[in-house]
């Protein structure tokens, strides 16, 4: 699909930042047609280029995180490079940065400066603790946001220390809020006089916003939600069970009618018809009894039988998928959630598809993450620099 048919076609984004939160936000916009110029330092670039599994010296994560972006190298310690960055910011609809608060101001690229020169600009700022408050100057990675935001405290088993999820979920949640904030700010600009604004996303607040009823439950009842393993307290039954062939299955039978179907499917009509278990409050009071019944039934059957019977009974259930399971799952494949991307050496590699799915203007992958500085000359020419000026900038260490 051509860029002109994508929903963010014509939106110009300038990305400053490294690793996860800011670049992931920009990736989402790029997947839906925004023109994203990623500013990187000459020589090394974004450290993500060397994170996790590498193919010919470049991270596969990099190819995914930076798909559809253009790479421009600028030495932001050089005045001519800063002038180029400022020039690009004057043409941008959105500037995204995830440095520690104050860094952009020291560079002369802070919100006050940019908004005065480009009143329609939307500036998305991601940081550990936000642009204000007593901890604004402290470094804060996603793990700190997950801890301070409450997610780590409730994750794991009650008799063990808190555990992390298997991905950098705090950064990713912050990126999603940032992308949403950018879209709301653009919408406001379109309908309310053309003014831009700053979108201030703190990692701990991004996680905190996902914490369901944690705050009102504590405020009204003094209730502190604790770690409960795989059980969802207050919502019964919803748990993980192990099959005879040692596979793990999530069973969600917490709807009233679903619970009755589940109990019938596992041969426990007595529980299905027990009036005391007709609603969630009654079931939650007898959660241990219900979970023992499900455990016993699941443990007597292999995975295929469990899933087939529960599917027939219209009870939500799924095995816990590894990436190997995802790669061959008919549902993933039918919805295009595994797509293939060609790397610079011609090698094809699978990547996750684009979410969300738009019926008329779906996003997609147009090219993988670029080589460091791959588009530097191209972008400088678009700014009116000729070949001799570009050569001079490079010789002087500006780009």
Band of residue 4 on the pLDDT scale cut at 50, 70, 90: low
Give CA angle at 325 (323, 330), nearest 5°: 120
Summarize pLDDT for 238-257 with one digit per residue, the tens. 999 999 999 999 999 999 99
Longest dimension (CA), the chain: 85
Helix 169-191 × helix 21-31 angle, to 10°: 50
Give the residue numbers annotated as catalytic, written as ranges: 171
Summarize pLDDT for 329-374 with one digit per residue, the tens. 999 999 999 999 999 999 999 999 999 999 999 999 999 999 999 9
**Residue 126 CB-density burial (10 A; 0-12 exposed, 13-18 middle, 19+ buried):** buried
Average pLDDT, the chain: 96
Question: Regarding beta strands 54-55 and 58-59, do their DSSP bridges make them parallel or antiparallel, or are they unpaired?
Answer: antiparallel
Domain of 204? 3-210+339-395
What pLDDT sits at residue 193? 83
Residues 285 and 351 in one domain: no
* Tokens 């001519």, residue located: 80
What pLDDT sits at residue 328? 96
Q: Report whether 38 contacts 26 (CB < 8 A).
A: yes
Provide the CATH number for the domain around residue 105: 3.40.50.10540
What pLDDT sits at residue 73? 98
Burial 291-316 (b: 16+ CB within 10 A, else e): bebbeebbeebebeebbebbeebebe
Residues 80 and 141 in one domain: yes
Closest CA to 393 of 385, 122, 143: 385
Interval 133-145 mean pLDDT: 94
138 secondary structure, DSSP code: S
What pLDDT sits at residue 1? 45
Q: Nearest 5°: phi and psi at 235?
A: -135, 105
Summarize pLDDT for 384-394 with one digit per residue, the tens. 999 999 999 99
Summarize pLDDT for 217-237 with one digit per residue, the tens. 999 999 999 999 999 888 999
CB atoms within 10 A of CB 61: 18
Summarize pLDDT for 16-55 with one digit per residue, the tens. 999 999 999 999 999 999 999 999 999 999 999 999 999 9
Residues 84 and 198 in one domain: yes
* Tokens 């278990």, residue located: 277
Q: Does some domain include residue 327?
A: no
Band of residue 3 on the pLDDT scale cut at 50, 70, 90: low
Provide the CATH number for the domain around residue 280: 3.30.1540.10
* Confidence check: pLDDT of 2 > 80: no
Closest CA to 99 of 52, 133, 62, 131: 131
Residues 119 and 249 in one domain: no
Q: In whole angstroms, what separates CA 187 from the centre of its chain?
A: 22
């Amino acid at each position: 699909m051509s860029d002109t048919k994508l929903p963010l076609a014509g939106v110009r984004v300038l990305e400053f930042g490294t690793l996860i939160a800011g670049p992931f936000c920009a990736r989402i916009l790029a997947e839906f047609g925004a023109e994203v110029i990623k500013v990187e330092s000459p020589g090394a670039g974004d450290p993500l280029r060397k994170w996790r599994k590498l193919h010919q010296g470049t991270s596969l994560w990099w190819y995914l995180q930076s798909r559809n972006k253009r790479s421009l190298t600028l030495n932001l310690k050089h005045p001519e490079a800063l002038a180029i960055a400022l020039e690009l910011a004057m043409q941008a609809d959105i500037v995204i940065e995830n440095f520690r608060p104050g860094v952009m101001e020291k560079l002369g690229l802070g919100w006050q400066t940019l908004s005065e020169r480009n009143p329609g600009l939307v500036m998305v700022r991601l940081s550990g603790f936000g642009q204000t408050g007593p901890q604004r100057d402290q470094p804060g990675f996603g793990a700190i946001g997950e801890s301070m935001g409450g997610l780590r405290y409730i994750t794991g088993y009650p008799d063990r220390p808190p555990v992390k999820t298997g991905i950098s979920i705090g950064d990713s949640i912050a990126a999603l809020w940032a992308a949403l904030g950018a879209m709301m700010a653009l919408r406001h600009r379109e309908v309310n006089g053309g003014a831009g604004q700053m979108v201030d996303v703190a990692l701990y607040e991004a996680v905190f916003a996902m914490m369901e009823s944690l705050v009102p439950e504590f405020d009204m009842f003094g209730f502190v939600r604790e770690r409960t393993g795989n059980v969802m307290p207050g919502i019964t039954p919803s748990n993980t069970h192990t099959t005879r062939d040692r596979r793990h299955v999530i069973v969600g039978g917490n709807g009233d009618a679903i619970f009755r179907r589940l109990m019938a499917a596992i041969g426990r009509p007595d529980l299905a018809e027990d009036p005391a278990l007709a609603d969630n409050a009654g079931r939650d009071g007898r959660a241990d009894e219900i979970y023992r019944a499900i455990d016993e039934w699941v443990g007597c059957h292999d995975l295929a039988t469990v899933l087939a019977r529960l599917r027939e009974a219209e009870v939500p259930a799924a095995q816990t998928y590894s990436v190997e399971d995802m790669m061959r799952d008919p549902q993933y494949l039918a919805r295009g959630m595994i797509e293939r991307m060609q790397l610079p050496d011609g090698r094809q590699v699978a990547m996750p598809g684009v979410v969300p799915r738009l019926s008329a203007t779906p996003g997609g992958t147009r090219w993988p993450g670029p080589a460091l500085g791959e588009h530097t000359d191209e972008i400088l020419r678009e700014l009116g620099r000729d070949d001799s000026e570009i050569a001079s900038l490079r010789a002087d260490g500006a780009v």
